[in-house]
Structure 1
Amino acid sequence: MTISYSQLPTQIEYPDEDGKPMAESDQARNYLTYAVEVLRIYFQNRTDVYVSGNLFIYYEEGNPSSVISPDAFVVFGVEKRERRSYKTWEEEDKNPDFVLEITSKSTRSQDQGAKKGIYAFLGVGEYFQYDPTGDYLNPRLQGLHLVEGNYLPCSATVLPDGTTSISSEVLGLELRLLPSGEWRFYDPVAGKTLLTHQEEVAARQAAEARIAELEARLRALEDR
């Protein structure tokens, strides 16, 4: 029996990249890196939580065009391991529970339109956006939570120092917009801001330098 090439099953490809160079501002790239790193640290003891960012998520088997790539996302109930892309049908149809987009004027139409609609369709419980430059989003940090298929704004609290805090029920964390316009994750249980490994090292060195300075002043007073 002779089989022609047309009778062979077609192998569907799901690319790991789109071939286009990443064009991110320093601020956008820094915040994207911060989000993924600190969330990985925060969930480091959980084997059933997957944290990633700028990764293709394919949400319809057999249709490579059904793809989206959040800046940062978290999926609960799946194995924590490295992936080249995330295919929902290979993950027991688990979609992201939390998504963060570092937004700007150039990505406004996607972040507020197409992406927002897809995230709602996929059942993403919380969708946050942060505009580091404040070009169009006011306030710069905004959160949405899914209610019966539609996104509604998350309530925000303004702290005495002017910091705006939005709670993420999905993560058990707060996203805080500082008066300077910077954004950080905050752990309300531990009572501290989440830091990257590099930031932790810098903070520890600064604290050690401060202690050394105080000890030197104390010795100088004793000598007098």
Structure 2
Amino acid sequence: MTISSNQLKTEIFYPDSDGKPMAESDPARDYLIYAVEALDIYFQARSDIYVSGNLYIYYKQGIPSAVIAPDVFVVFGVEKKKRSSYKVWQEGGKAPNFVLEITSASTQENDEEDKPQKYAFLGVQEYFQYDPTGDYLKPQLKGSRLVQGKYQSLTPNFLPDGVLSIHSEVLGLDLRLINGELRFFDPQTGQKLLSHKETEQARQQAEQARYDAIPKLLDLGLNVEQIASALNLPIDEVTRLMS
């Protein structure tokens, strides 16, 4: 019996996971979530930028074993949508432009030897590594850029306060170590990128600060209408908080 090429294609299975529970240390999980959320929020207005992490990337059609799963990655020029896995041939041949691996004892060798070779083969422009505990990488944060098919280390900058900072040309952002913690910064504004949780915390703090300012403004002689205008609050909200 002759088997058509279409039948062969339908029989190829690309798993969305290896079927095993994802086991991550607290630091690895926390920074993975922070990086994906912070970058997703930063690029939220761009419909042609896809941010994800810990997702299978299949890079050879018909060969399910040709797969890699970066901790954090960003792809430019593809649709922003939910995916169960990322198949390069279905995305116009576009591989990630930026990859970040959260290094640990179990991943160090793979992150420093096997994965860079695969990322170079795929044409990943920038490859960063971060070690939350500082036990496996010296320094804790490393970055490299693909030049003629090989990764060349990016020289870190040290800010006046001693903070290590590496600029990502691909993202247009700085990756910095703040007391050993990885954070993304917008070099144009100097603002730190926040996760969803951090964004909500900042909103609550700003709201509380406005409420705390009401008694001080009353002491300065401002009336309810003036306080509401100064704090951008409804008059009835100011009145309620004063009662």
Structure 1, residues 56-86: CA drift from partner, whole Å, max 9, x if none? 0000111100000000101111111111111
Using the alignment, how far apart are the partners of 1:127 and 1:184 within structure 2?
16
1:206 and 2:205 matched: yes
1:187 corresponding residue in structure 2:
186
- AA aligned opposite 2:202: A
Gapped runs of 5+ residues in structure 2? 222-243
Using the alignment, how far apart are the partners of 2:40 and 2:80 within structure 1?
10
| TM-score (norm. length: structure 1) | 0.91
2:115 corresponding residue in structure 1:
115
- AA aligned opposite 2:61: E
2:231 corresponding residue in structure 1:
none
Query: RMSD value over aligned CA atoms?
Result: 1.7
Using the alignment, how far apart are the partners of 1:95 and 1:46 within structure 2?
18
Structure 1 residues 46 and 221 mapped into 2: Cα distance closer, same or farther (>3 Å)? closer
Secondary structure of 1:166 counterpart: strand
2:235 corresponding residue in structure 1:
none
- AA aligned opposite 1:77: G
Using the alignment, how far apart are the partners of 1:94 and 1:218 within structure 2?
56
Write out aligned runs for 1:138-217 (5 A).
138-178=138-178, 180-213=179-212, 215-216=214-215
Using the alignment, how far apart are the partners of 1:140 and 1:99 within structure 2?
16
Instruction: Give the Å deviation of 1:27.
Output: 1.0
1:97 corresponding residue in structure 2:
97
Secondary structure of 2:118 counterpart: helix
Is the contact made by 2:49 and 2:76 (CA closer than 8 Å) also made in structure 1? yes
| TM-score (norm. length: structure 2) | 0.84
Is the contact made by 2:74 and 2:99 (CA closer than 8 Å) also made in structure 1? yes
Using the alignment, how far apart are the partners of 1:218 and 1:156 within structure 2?
46
Using the alignment, how far apart are the partners of 2:3 and 2:203 within structure 1?
64
Structure 1 residues 7 and 208 mapped into 2: Cα distance closer, same or farther (>3 Å)? closer
Name the count of aligned residue pairs. Answer: 217
Instruction: Give the Å deviation of 1:92.
Output: 1.1
Tell me which structure has the larger Cα radius of gyration.
2
Using the alignment, how far apart are the partners of 1:216 and 1:205 within structure 2?
19
Secondary structure of 1:41 counterpart: helix
Structure 1, residues 136-185: CA drift from partner, whole Å, max 9, x if none? 1111111011111111111211111121111000000110111x211100
Identity among equivalent positions (%) equals 59
Write out aligned runs for 1:8-19 (5 A).
9-10=7-8, 11-19=11-19
